[in-house]
Amino acid sequence: MAKRSKEEALETRERILDAAVQVFHARGVSRPSLSDVAELAGVTRGAVYGHFKNKADLFDALCERVRLPTEVVCEGRQMIQEDDPLGELRITWLVVLYNAVGDWQPILDIIFHRCEIVEESGGIRERLLAGHAEAAEQITGLLTRAVAQGQLSPDLDIPLAAVMAHGTLAGLLSNWLLAPQSFDLAEHMERCVDVVIETLRSNPALQKPA
C-alpha cells in the first residue's frame, strides 16, 4: 500500500509538471496562478502545494527536467579521451541541441521566451541567473583545460572566449526556439557547433591584447 501511495504521489507530481509546461508555454510564467496549473492537471490547488512550495519551486522543478542527464553526457564522453576537453565541450553542446529539437523544446522555450527577468519574479529570476552562471562556469573550465592541453592557443583570452561561445550557442538556440520553422537545427547542429569550436581555435580577435 505504501509503495502504491508513493507511486501515486509521483504520478501526481509529474501530471502537475506536465500541466505547468502547457500553462507556462501558452500564457507565460508570471501571469498564470498555481490554481490554473491545478485545474489543467485535474488536481486541487492544495495538491499542487503538497508537491511545490510556490511557483518558483515549480519552475525550478521544470528546469531540472532539462538539466543534462549524467548518463547521457557520460555516454558521449566514452567516445572521447579524458585529455580532450574540446571534444567534451562539443559533445555537451550537441546533447543540448539534440534534446532541444526533442523533448526539451517546450521547456526551453519557456526559459528563453516566457519568463520576465525582473526583481519581482524572485526565485524564478534567481534560478535563471544560477543556470546561466553554471553554464558559463562549465564552459570556462573546459576552455581552461583545452588551453592547458594545447588544443587552444596559450594566448586565448579565456573569459572573452567563454562569453562569446556561450552567447553564440545560446543565441542560436533562442533564435531557433522563436521560429523553429525558419531553420533546420537538427540537420545543421553539428556544423553550427563546429563553427564555434573552429572560431575558438583560430580567431585572432579572441587572443589576449598585446
Q: Give per-residue pLDDT as tens, 105-132.
A: 999 999 999 987 666 566 888 888 888 8
> What pLDDT is stored for residue 38 in this prediction?
96
Yes or no: say if 178 and 117 are a contact pair by the CB < 8 Å rule.
no
Write out pLDDT tens, residues 151-205.
999 999 999 999 999 999 999 999 999 999 999 999 999 999 999 999 999 999 9
In a domain, 123, yes or no: yes
Kindly report, residue by residue over 25-46, the tens digit of the pLDDT.
Answer: 999 998 899 999 999 999 999 9
Is residue 11 included in any domain, yes or no? Answer: yes
Q: Which residues form the domain of 24?
A: 1-53
Domain count, the chain: 2
Q: Looking at the predicted structure, is the pLDDT value of residue 206 above 80?
A: yes
Phi, psi of 43 (to 5 degrees): -130, 170
What is the tens place of the pLDDT at every residue in 80-104?
A: 566 899 998 999 899 899 999 998 9
For residue 191, which of 202, 203, 199 has the smallest C-alpha distance? Answer: 199
Buried b (16+ CB within 10 A) or exposed e, 132-160: eeebbebbbebbebbbeeebbbeebbbee
User: Same domain, yes or no, for 72 and 169?
Assistant: yes
Q: Which residue is it, cell 581555435? A: 201
Joined grid coordinates for residue 152: 587552444
